[in-house]
Amino acid sequence: VSAVIDQARPAAFDEDVVLVERYLAGDQAAFELLYSKYYDKVLAIARGVLMDADEAADAVQEVFTLVYRHLNRFDRRARFSTWLFRVAVNRSIQEARKNKHKNRNVELTEALPAENKEADDMDPRVQTAMAALAPADRVLLVLFYWDELSLQEIADSIGCNVNAAKTRLYRARERFRVQYELVPE
């Protein structure tokens, strides 16, 4: 019955699917359109998770390369943007974990310039508080406040239901507040 209802329910029109179909048909320009459309949002996710502009830019290229190579795996049950954000979130968290181990071996003096550069672009308190959070918490804040996704979209992007996404977002926000208040004004 549910299958019949699902078939009868009019699917929300996703203009991105048209571009996906065109790309899969061989139109490389269609992928360029998707790339330019979502570059900022994917970069925001990567930057919010990695807390480094260069690494974020590199991660964005990685994410779009993955999408470019595996777009045929997009099953069209969800929106393309949701699928893309999910790829971006997973890849960014993966990179953040990799960089965490790598940065342990880097001298503090070598790491300082990058942080100073980021500090010029972002509120220092927000920067410090965000850096103190776990990548999973940072992802939720970035998706909600930077990319302004709805709870449903966030849930789809991180692979959970809406209530779980709401609870996780609340906890991440509370942790951010604690870290934010610890930083002197």
Binding residues for another protein, rule: CB under 8 A, are: 31-32, 35-36, 39-40, 43-44, 47-48, 53, 57, 61-62, 64-65, 68-69, 121-123, 125-127, 130, 141-142, 145-147, 170, 173-174, 176-177, 180-181
> What's the min distance (Å) between Cβ of 123 and another protein?
5
d(CA 93, CA 99): 10
Asked if 129 and 91 count as a contact pair (C-beta separation under 8 A), the reply is no
> CA end-to-end span of the chain, whole Å?
58
> What's the min distance (Å) between Cβ of 38 and another protein?
10
> What's the min distance (Å) between Cβ of 146 and another protein?
3
**Can you list the pairs that 9-13 forms with residues at least 24 positions away whose Cβ atoms lie under 8 Å?**
12/79
> What's the min distance (Å) between Cβ of 77 and another protein?
25
Asked if 41 and 85 count as a contact pair (C-beta separation under 8 A), the reply is yes
Residue 89: count other Cβ atoms within 10 Å of its Cβ. 25
